[in-house]
């Protein structure tokens, strides 16, 4: 083969290899295209089994109010959740998680006749959780029982225990990449146990930020794709 032709063939082969390399291993390593990524939008995939955690956004409270537009009820200055990633498919799609723990503390009440809040707890964990590419977060009760919260109040007449459950056994929230947060607004609960001192309905609102993958070094922020 003449030397010029051998050089032309070599150039074409080299160009082809560079092209293939650019569309296969490099792209796969840098862009996972899964529903949940950490570090950036379109960043590294959140691994199945990773734990995602978040506290209340700075300067906010978690509220359980008696009406959707009022301010009477219980509010907590601290709250935290922890969830385990179960599936994280290609985007667009729906990732699933197990909500394993959720806590509320530093709670106060302005309900007439109450002296303090002894406890706010989340019952029947774990809950099933899904996050879709549009940013919709849906929480559903699992095998342990329905979504339920117990509020224990100290009142002028003694200790009062109020138990609430969600309508339809689900809660709906919204994930935002702009604020790396998950927000719940006026999610309705209905009283299923407790005396008349307990308000008949409770509307839950809270914003958690930043949402982080604590299984990874540095606990990078989680994004939805």
Q: What is the pTM of this model?
A: 0.85
Going from N- to C-terminal start, the domains of the chain cover 31-224
Ranges of H-type helices in the chain: 3-23, 25-30
Q: Which tens digits make up the pLDDT trace of 79-101? A: 999 999 999 999 999 999 999 99
- For residues 88-115, give the mean pLDDT: 96
User: Percentage of the chain surpassing pLDDT 70?
Assistant: 86
Residues 6 or more apart from 156 whose CB is under 8 A from it?
113, 115
Which one is predicted more confidently, 196 or 4? 196
| Alpha-carbon span 36 to 92, nearest angstrom | 10
Task: Give, in order, the Cα–Cα distances in Å from 111 to each of 68, 75, 100, 114.
Answer: 15, 11, 30, 6
Kind of pairing between the strands at 51-55 and 62-65: unpaired
- Could you give phi then psi for residue 183, rounded to 5 degrees? -120, 140
Q: Which tens digits make up the pLDDT trace of 189-205? A: 999 999 988 999 999 99
What 3-state DSSP class applies to 21? helix
Q: Which tens digits make up the pLDDT trace of 27-59? A: 333 346 999 999 999 999 999 999 999 999 999
pLDDT above 50 (res 180): yes
């Amino acid at each position: 083969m003449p030397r010029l032709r051998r050089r032309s063939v070599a150039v074409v082969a080299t160009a082809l290899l560079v092209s293939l390399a650019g569309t296969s291993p490099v792209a796969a390593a840098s862009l996972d295209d899964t529903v949940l990524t950490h570090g950036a939008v379109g960043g590294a995939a959140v691994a199945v089994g990773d734990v995602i955690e978040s506290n209340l956004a700075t300067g906010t409270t978690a509220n359980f109010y008696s009406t959707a537009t009022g301010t009477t009820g219980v509010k907590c200055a601290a709250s935290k959740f922890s969830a385990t990633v179960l599936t994280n498919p290609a985007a667009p799609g729906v990732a699933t998680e197990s909500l394993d723990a959720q806590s509320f503390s530093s709670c106060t009440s302005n309900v007439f006749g109450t002296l303090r809040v002894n406890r706010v707890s989340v019952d029947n964990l774990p809950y099933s959780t899904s996050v879709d590419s549009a940013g919709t977060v849906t929480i559903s009760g699992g095998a342990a029982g329905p979504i339920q919260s117990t509020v224990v109040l100290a009142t002028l007449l003694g200790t009062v225990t109020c138990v609430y459950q969600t309508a339809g056994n689900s809660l709906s929230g919204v994930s935002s990449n702009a604020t790396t947060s998950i927000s719940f607004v006026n999610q309705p609960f209905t009283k299923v146990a407790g005396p008349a001192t307990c308000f008949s309905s409770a509307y839950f609102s809270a914003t958690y930020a930043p949402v982080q993958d604590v299984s990874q070094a540095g606990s990078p922020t989680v994004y939805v794709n």
